[in-house]
Chains A and B, each alone.
Chain A
Amino acid sequence: MEIWRLPISASQRGKLISAGYTSLSSLSSISSSDLARELKVSESEAMNILKVASHSRGSETSNASCSIVEGAQSAWDMLHDEESLMHITTSSADLDNILGGGIHCKEVTEIGGVPGIGKTQLGIQVAVNVQIPNDFGGLGGKAIYIDTEGSFMVERAFQIAEACIEDMSEYNRFLRKDFQECKIKMLPQDILENIFYFRICSYTEQIALINYLDKFLSEHKDVKVIVVDSVTFHFRQDFDDMALRTRVLSGMALKLMNLAKRFSLAVVLLNQVTTKHTEASFQLALALGDSWSHTCTNRIVLYWNGNERYAYIDKSPSLRSASAAYSVTARGIRNSSSSCKRIKMM
């Protein structure tokens, strides 16, 4: 294995190569003080380099007999794990149906649509619904809301939280007729307290925050959803270097995937739309380009059909393409048919 496949900094790599160390085997028999002397770096840096090199070498020789590589899971185990994974409801039964129960955990879902279609409303609804306790079929987790546009309204979140609690008590009353005493102890303030809000003002802040989330999530293990509203805003205007934009966005997407997988949470990215000129016709497509459209696990497109709002599954590994109608009411996202007053909880 070659030196330049090691995850070390470019200057360290340059020093190693100019001193003649081009492969791992050449680093095997040297001590850290000799290396520090030859490369003219501090001893702790030399020790770090040797540690990385021996870790990579160690992975060459060890091979567990049960799995091909460490950390791999067989598809059979994953099938059973998936059955126990919960989904985050969107409070609209039709929407939940086409999503296979709701927003999936361990996946990155991108939701995009024209301005005014209800993306932020959906984001706030998801941040509230993730806190529904386990008894009511929810995850009982906390939420991280990353706001890049400044469209998060606390009063609206309070309204939606109130409505969610009212629905839960109504459900309680409806189903558990014997336990009259059992009241919902949650208050809207508790729900708001469990939403961690970050306001981002530039793309560097956005990247820095995504990098920081690793540490944040290790301390707050009960966070179950990350909502980014919207992921596009700081990457659209004044970004001169398109190649840099592609690199930064792909790196960010991979980090979010990593967080989703490691901490078993759902990541919801809200995106804007742009017009695409294909064969003399204009089409609406999600912003940030082709490379970005490839990076998310699922993609939902929100659009207007007449006077109704519709959601369409554009990309998903396990769901069929389908669309469903929903509406944005004073209580949040609900089914579009006005006859259905009671929300179906799982």
Chain B
Amino acid sequence: MARLANLETEYPVLDSTVRNFCASHGIFSVEDFLIHDLYMLAAFAEQNDSSERLKEGIAQVLSIIDDMHQPWLNGMELLEDAKRNKHVFPTGIQGIDLLLGDGIRVGQLTELVGPSSSGKTQVCLRTASNVARNHMVLYLDTGNSFSPQCIAYFLGKTISPSSAQAKNQFLQKVMSNISCHSVFDIFAMFDVLHQLESYLRCQDGRGCCQMRLLIVDSISSLISPVLGSSSTLGRALMTSAGYLLKKLAHQHNLAVLIINHTVGGEGGSSKPALGDSWKCIPHSRLFLSCDRGSNTYNVSILRHPSMASVKAARFVI
């Protein structure tokens, strides 16, 4: 939100008298306006000499603020939007798809939590290879664990045996839909997400192959170096990242899949990392674990908007 000084060119009513009055109350920008007591301000303006101009100025700032919020939607519009845009993408893993009722939902942030080596990256790779058949996928990798060989392997399993050339062409077509980018700190991730936002804004007009899946592997590696120090910046960055991802998911019809790790909780059990502030941010949370002996994986729902959270399933990759 802009400083009042910068707004003068656009709104000449916010001249120096108004600004000096506001500055005397510690208001320098539109944002400061919001956190101030407007009745008190109006009362002070009344007592001032040029009260008319001050009131005009205040009214102008309030109208600027009014323009800034998202448009109101009613229930029917939301339902329309959900039916038309918010599809469900199967992950390609039967156990998980059955558990989630067909797959991960567009417009929602789905989190995979689990201890080390519990199959989280594998689930993401599998989902990416499944969605890439028809849509574009962006994979943000923080641990250099994106494995094109795994993707080729998963795609190879799904295609019926045919000539090597046809298989090659299929692989090329699908794998060109997956873009992988390495990010190694949270500011780089914000950079990438903003570039993505402008890309998606242009994309919404086009009808061709669109980006529908964003995977962040893993968001906890990016947030851990900044979270927990005496300053609150880390937590602010974390919640801001969460909101940005949810905004991208909802406004541009993406399904967002993120990976989190676990830390030790009470009594030796593991709990998801990033703490309680992060707990409410993803729409769905799935807990994965691995049975080393039998090489099968367990998944259970920690949180989901429409499924009961005691359900669990097993799957094999």
In the complex, the chain A residue whose C-beta lies closest to that of B201 is A63
Give the contacting residue for B142; candidates A19, A72, A254, A290; CB below 8 A: A254
* CB pair B116 A315 closer than 8 Å: yes
Q: Compute how far the CA of A70 lies from the CA of B231 in the bound complex, rounded to whole angstroms.
A: 32
**A20–B132 CA distance with the chains assembled, in angstroms:** 45
Q: Give the CA-CA distance A325 to B148 in the complex, in Å.
A: 29
Do the beta carbons of B29 and A26 come within 8 Å of each other? yes
* Distance between Cα atoms of A39 and B227 in the complex (Å): 28
Please pick, from A68, A78, A250, A314, the residue contacting B224 in the complex, using a CB distance under 8 A: A250
Q: Determine which residue in A60, A71, A289 has the highest number of CB atoms from chain B within 10 A of its CB, and name it.
A: A71
What are 14 A-B residue pairs whose CB atoms fall within 8 Å in the complex? A26-B29, A60-B197, A63-B199, A73-B181, A74-B175, A82-B148, A254-B222, A257-B182, A261-B144, A278-B268, A290-B261, A294-B143, A294-B218, A317-B147
Q: Report the interface size for chain A: residues with CB under 8 A from the other chain.
A: 69
- Chain A residues with CB under 8 Å of B36's CB are none
Closest 6 CB pairs of A and B: A20-B28, A250-B224, A251-B225, A79-B148, A294-B261, A76-B175
Docked Cα-Cα span, A72 to B270, in Å, equals 34
Question: Contact at B6–A29, with CB atoms within 8 Å?
Answer: yes
| Residues of chain B contacted by A56 (CB below 8 angstroms) | 191, 194
Complex contact B144–A260 (CB within 8 A): yes
Interface residues of B in 79-127 (CB under 8 A from A): 115-117, 121-122, 125
- Judging by beta carbons under 8 Å apart, are A253 and B221 in contact? yes
Instruction: Using CB atoms and an 8 Å cutoff, list the residues of chain A in contact with chain B.
Output: 1-2, 4-7, 10, 19-23, 25-26, 29-30, 56, 59-63, 67-76, 78-79, 82, 106-108, 243-244, 246-248, 250-251, 253-255, 257-258, 260-261, 277-279, 289-291, 293-297, 299, 314-315, 317-318, 321
A278 to B267, CA, bound (A): 9
Most buried by A among B1, B197, B295: B1
Task: Please give, as numbers and ranges, the residues of chain A lying within 8 Å of B184 by CB-CB distance.
Answer: 254-255, 257-258, 261
Q: Is B229 an interface residue (CB 8 A)?
A: yes
Q: Is A73 touching B221 in the complex (CB atoms < 8 A)?
A: no
Whether B220 is near chain A, meaning CB under 8 Å from some CB there, is yes
